[in-house]
A and B are shown apart, each in its own frame.
Chain A
Amino acid sequence: MSRWEYFVKRLLLTVPVLFLVLSFLFVMLRMGPIDPVAAILGPQATGGDAQAIRERLGLDEPLWQQYVDFITSFLTFDFGQSWVVQAGRPIIEIVVGAAPATLWLGFWAILLPLFIGIPLGFYAGLNPNSLGDYTASFGGILWQALPNFWLSVLALATLRQTRNGGGPFGFDWYAFGPDFLSRDISITGTPDFDWFSTMDLLFFPVPYVSDWTALAIDVKLILPPALILGSASMAAELRIGRTAMLETVNANFVETARAKGLTSRVIVWKHIFRNALIPLLPVITSEAFLLIGGSVIVEQIFNINGLGRIFFQSVTQGDLPMAGALLFIFTLIILFLNILQDFLYTIIDPRVGYDQ
């Protein structure tokens, strides 16, 4: 089987997965323990109001009818309206409104670990059992062990005390970079993306940065939560990077290269580095999955109005269509990332295929 056949097969396999997920969602949401009517009305529910809402939400329809409606509307991205969290607003509108903040957070939460974790890991792998290796490895394990919610609370408590130079050595996070105090900006909150504009270039909208100060503010706002959100994956990248480096360094082809008389610089960058990246690839793509889960907590504590916080609200308040739609979107993202990962594998590593 060629590797492209393999790839197409993987692609087709996602269809039944998608259906299974949708059916599971339906069972969980529509037949689970949460009564949306009670959730909407709160403790002061009365019979008449409850029945009116039940009718409005279509909960009186037969179950199979609800199932068919559910599947068809989800597949066409028609998620309907939110029931509780933002009652009456179209879900797709809410998701589009909250997605930028999560993307912004996710972008930095992936980027920061990449540029800190992998270099550190490679450094440790190239200098095994040195003091630097021990420091990096031990620090990585410790960093990974600290739970996100605890780190978030701690970071917030520390940062807010640096106001007016109250930090160690007179450090003031508020005055660091763009000044927050004079602008009455909180260190928590949702980035407002004022710096983002588009201009039409040959009838295509091209994004550009219109306000560099606003960009700096948004970066500063997102930096602490992004570092915390990326903390676990940063440590994972460090450790896997180190192992991959160690294995590749001791491989036969490296010895051959050395025997050919290549400089160590060429050996490291051309031969070792590329091969060490292969085991890192699934780690990086699966990070997105971790980010979706982790952003629930980090967004809640840093008061960022993103998908994670909305998901948290919709689950705790019994907003079935909203929670279902978000789960469906998360599933799509993960399926897409899996395919992307397979695709990259087929490109990077020619050995991938079903038989062998």
Chain B
Amino acid sequence: MPDPANGEAVESTKRRRLLGLLGGGAAVSLAGCSDQEPSDGSDGNDTDGEDGSDGMDGEDGEDGEDGGDSGPTYADQAQAAWERAVENPLPEDEDLRQEAYVEMEEAVRDDAVLTPLYHGFTELFWYDYVDVPLTGALGKHWQQLNTTTVEGDDTLNLINSTFDELDPIMSTDTASSIVITQIYENLTEFPNGVPEVENQLLEEYEVSEDGTTWTFTLKEDIQFHGGGTVTAQDVKYSWRRTVESANSERATFTLNQPTGLGIDVEMDDEGDPEPDSLAVEVIDDQTLEIQLVGPNPDVLSIIAYSSFAVIPEGYVDDIEGYDGEVSHDEFSTDVANGTGPFELDEFNVDEDVSVVRNDDYWGETASVEAVNWEIIEDDQAAWTYSLEQNADRFEMPTFAYEADAIDAEEDDRGRQVGTYGPAGDLEEEVNYLGVSEISTFYFGFNASNTERAARQAVAYVMNKEQIVQEVFAGRGTPAYSFLPPAIWPTGQDGYESFLEDYPYGLGESDSQGAQTVLEEAGFTSDSPTEMTLTTYESEVFQTAAELIRDLLSGTGLDLSLETSQFSTLQSRGEDGELQMYSLGWIWSWPAVPYGMFQLEPLNTNTSVMPEETNGFYLDWHTNLEEEAE
């Protein structure tokens, strides 16, 4: 699809969204975690707004340092900021929300309950005979390959990781979405993974004044691979599956706010959704209407996520009222029926997947006849496969990587674009792309099990640039905030000023600062405090952990290390047993609240996790004034 047209479409949709929402001032129920009770009235918009403009960001933090007794704690600040953000979801409050999110970041930073380490950085390499559009910060799994050309060949060959399902509502990994994106389509999309939403099957939409009723009009005459036109009924059926099917692993993306759309639904006594009660109404063949539990500024971004992909009505047998043309087992791996530029050819789980061109595609018909992915997990095997030119575009394992061989310049989206090589085994020059991704890997601290001084000492000694350099050979972006710079609420300038205020030292290890903060809290090398750092099996975190431990020796903090399996770490975190731990968060769509909700202090309460809360394992709510009593 030509870019200018799409650019205009985005502009006009944005404008329409603004117009549609203007003037709406309805009461908003507290979003966030659905089970939580609102802690105060829902009509506090105006007063909260004033709070926001006071901008008592960093200064307040200084007071809080003296202890929770005098004035609001950092956790109080974060909680207040979060509530202000979710209670003002209308477009005119955009600035207020952005400030609130930055204020949360500052509270997190000053209390050091979470110390970010790095943002993911992906590098792609492709041979000269391939012409493929550059991918964006959301990752290559958003890219439809119909505009990719291969000189002298009619097949595009790639490498993928293992996955086991092609059902969009089961897909939780990037490996499966790489293939699903070629076969199925959504109402909206992020073309090539660039974080700017555009229409896909959507023609236009309208929003009610209160921002809770959205009317979508579909493009006309779009055909499924198996025949039949896409209608509003198909969309309704597909979205019903996301909540009613037992196979769905993404029901929350449909039902929750702000971690999803928040479509209204009726629950039965057991807490399962009633069949056909999802508030999606078909107006006519091209039009449907959804009813949300509250206004949601991120609707268009969320429906681009692969679980909202459209399949023909009644295709699968896993929700009530449909016998299904195919069984769910077949639908998982054997058959597919979408509207995308490619049709499923063959899927040998753990071996290879191939898709063939859809000649009747409504958009630009693919230039290659087929795309084939060899499924390889091992670095050695993948590198061999790439060198053999069996893979046309590939990633490079660190053992083969030579940073000096890159010759790249930054483009207007902050991506590194250029060439690589020849270097090492690779005997020719290849194309190069380096993109900083919307993901954050961090150390979290359980606030009730750790001293603030100890947490800050860790932040002081941690030299993120050195760690990224040592472990990834520089293939990562050192992180100083939880929110990645690409989606920083107040833009690039706001991020820069956040960095300027960063108290723990940028790109250096400040042992003196660590020692001072520990001494003030009464810990010296003679009477140290102790803390355990639990990492999952990841080279980065293990190396970082060792570095931090060594740097802390001789200060008033004894750090001991342990490694645990990923799933074990999660369940121990939910039980509130961890002190300091490592984890990561990858954004499924580029929205600030989808990420920040985990830092809302009340949502970090591990004693009711995972039933009632779904935040990080911080127990930050224990620092709230009202909770402390």
A residues apposed to B, CB below 8 Å: 33-36, 38-53, 56, 82, 85-89, 94, 97-98, 152-153, 156-157, 160-161, 163, 181, 184, 186-190, 300-303, 305, 309-310, 313, 318
Residue pair B425, A89 in contact (C-beta under 8 Å): no
| From B162, B329, B378, residue with most partner A Cβ within 10 Å | B378
- B252 interface contact, C-beta 8 A: yes
Chain B 562-609 interface residues, beta-carbon cutoff 8 Å to A: 564-568, 570-571, 583-586, 588, 609
- B390 interface contact, C-beta 8 A: yes
Residue pair B610, A47 in contact (C-beta under 8 Å): yes
Interface code B19-49, partner A: CB below 8 Å = 1, 0 otherwise?
A: 0000000000000001100000000000000
A49 to B565, CA, bound (A): 21
A187 to B256, CA, bound (A): 48
Given A46-B610, A47-B609, A302-B381, A186 and B256 touching (CB < 8 A)?
no
With A35-B567, A39-B567, A187-B388 already in contact, 14 other A-B pairs whose C-beta atoms are closer than 8 Å: A33-B564, A33-B571, A38-B570, A46-B614, A47-B35, A47-B613, A47-B614, A48-B271, A52-B246, A85-B162, A89-B332, A152-B380, A300-B378, A303-B376
- B165 interface contact, C-beta 8 A: yes
Question: B376 contacts which chain A residues (CB < 8 A)?
Answer: 188, 303
Who on chain A is nearest to B389 by CB? A184
Question: B361 contacts which chain A residues (CB < 8 A)?
Answer: none
CB distance from A225 to the nearest CB of B (A): 11
Question: Lowest 7 A-B CB distances belong to which pairs?
Answer: A303-B381, A47-B610, A86-B164, A38-B567, A38-B570, A188-B381, A46-B614
CB distance from B350 to the nearest CB of A (A): 5
Interface code B250-285, partner A: CB below 8 Å = 1, 0 otherwise?
A: 111001100100000000000100000000000000
Question: B571 contacts which chain A residues (CB < 8 A)?
Answer: 33, 35, 38
Question: A163 contacts which chain B residues (CB < 8 A)?
Answer: 387-388
Cβ contact of A88, chosen from B165, B259, B567, B614, cutoff 8 A: B165
Question: A94 contacts which chain B residues (CB < 8 A)?
Answer: 349
Cβ contact of A87, chosen from B34, B170, B374, cutoff 8 A: B170
Chain B 219-251 interface residues, beta-carbon cutoff 8 Å to A: 246-247, 249-251
Residue pair B251, A86 in contact (C-beta under 8 Å): no
Cβ contact of B333, chosen from A34, A45, A89, A318, cutoff 8 A: A89
Residue pair B378, A301 in contact (C-beta under 8 Å): yes
Question: B374 contacts which chain A residues (CB < 8 A)?
Answer: 186, 189, 303
Cβ contact of B172, chosen from A41, A89, A305, cutoff 8 A: A41
A191 to B81, CA, bound (A): 58
Residue pair B570, A35 in contact (C-beta under 8 Å): yes
CB distance from B429 to the nearest CB of A (A): 17
Who on chain A is nearest to B350 by CB? A305
Given A47-B609, A49-B252, A160-B425, A186 and B350 touching (CB < 8 A)?
no
A85 to B161, CA, bound (A): 12
Residue pair A188, B384 in contact (C-beta under 8 Å): yes
Who on chain A is nearest to B614 by CB? A46
CB distance from A85 to the nearest CB of B (A): 7
| From A48, A97, A157, residue with most partner B Cβ within 10 Å | A48
Who on chain A is nearest to B537 by CB? A316
A33 to B610, CA, bound (A): 17
Residue pair B568, A86 in contact (C-beta under 8 Å): no
Who on chain A is nearest to B255 by CB? A48
Who on chain A is nearest to B259 by CB? A46
Residue pair B388, A303 in contact (C-beta under 8 Å): no
Question: B583 contacts which chain A residues (CB < 8 A)?
Answer: 43
Given A53-B249, A186-B390, A89 and B381 touching (CB < 8 A)?
no
A277 to B79, CA, bound (A): 77
Who on chain B is nearest to A35 by CB? B571
A48 to B610, CA, bound (A): 8
Who on chain A is nearest to B247 by CB? A88
A96 to B162, CA, bound (A): 18
- B508 interface contact, C-beta 8 A: no
CB distance from B261 to the nearest CB of A (A): 14
Cβ contact of A188, chosen from B246, B350, B385, cutoff 8 A: B385
A161 to B384, CA, bound (A): 9
Residue pair A45, B610 in contact (C-beta under 8 Å): yes
Given A34-B567, A34-B568, A160-B425, A52 and B251 touching (CB < 8 A)?
yes
CB distance from A221 to the nearest CB of B (A): 12
- B395 interface contact, C-beta 8 A: no
Given A39-B567, A88-B332, A186-B388, A153 and B585 touching (CB < 8 A)?
no
Residue pair A86, B349 in contact (C-beta under 8 Å): yes
- B173 interface contact, C-beta 8 A: yes
Cβ contact of B586, chosen from A43, A89, A97, cutoff 8 A: A43
CB distance from B267 to the nearest CB of A (A): 10
A308 to B172, CA, bound (A): 25
Cβ contact of B329, chosen from A88, A156, A313, cutoff 8 A: A88
- B93 interface contact, C-beta 8 A: no
Question: B162 contacts which chain A residues (CB < 8 A)?
Answer: 85, 313
CB distance from A215 to the nearest CB of B (A): 19
Who on chain A is nearest to B587 by CB? A44
A289 to B564, CA, bound (A): 29
Question: A88 contacts which chain B residues (CB < 8 A)?
Answer: 164-165, 170, 247, 328-329, 332
Residue pair B380, A41 in contact (C-beta under 8 Å): no
Cβ contact of B251, chosen from A35, A49, A303, A309, cutoff 8 A: A49
